[in-house]
Structures are given as C-alpha cells and as structure tokens.
Amino acid sequence: FKATHVCVTRGDKGAILLANSNFYESFGFRVNVVDTVGAGDSFLATLLHKIINEKVSNEAIDYACAVGAIVASSEGANPKILDEDVKLIMNN
C-alpha cells in the first residue's frame, strides 16, 4: 500500500497535508466554537473536492480549514456555507 496523500488535522491549529512528496500547511482560523459536530467531516469533504476538482495547494487546505471553522462556529452539523463567508474568514 502506497499512500500519495496523507492529511493530519490539528483542530483549531489547522492541518498538514503531504501530497506527492510536497507538504502543505494551514494554521487554521480563530472562531467562537459553538458545536464541533461535522467540522472534521466538512473539512475532509472540502479538501477532497479541492484535490479532485482543482489542485493540491495551500489555498485548498486553507479553504478546507475555513469551512471546518465555519461549521464549528455554527449550531448543528450542516450549516449553510457560502463561498463569500469562507473567503471572508480566509482574508481575516
């Protein structure tokens, strides 16, 4: 078994991704945590979408961390997430 991608999430401290012998890192985003249910699932779904449909990059892992942060700062596991909200968190 040879893995080409390995990701380690670090909660509020972001995540590290090893992809095709390259490291990518996000330091996460500060939010007021309300409910962490679904945050990790949302992070992983977003990261996989970015890897499959775009490319592996620091922006991809930052975007996934921002989505996870939005979910953690919301009530329930599946809040409505707009691209504008993700970019707002990423730019602050």
* Amino acid 80: pLDDT: 95
Total domain count, the chain: 1
Could you report the per-residue pLDDT of 3-34, keeping only the tens digit for each?
899 999 999 999 999 999 999 999 999 999 99
Domain membership of residue 32 as a residue range: 5-90
Catalytic residues: 41
CATH for 42: 3.40.1190.20
Q: What is the pTM of this model?
A: 0.94
Using alpha carbons, list the distances in angstroms from residue 50 to 33, 61, 64, 84: 25, 8, 8, 16
* Amino acid 88: pLDDT: 96
For residue 92, is pLDDT > 90? no
* Beta strand residue intervals within the chain, DSSP E: 5-9, 15-19, 22-26
Could you report the per-residue pLDDT of 31-66, keeping only the tens digit for each?
999 999 999 999 999 999 999 999 899 999 999 999
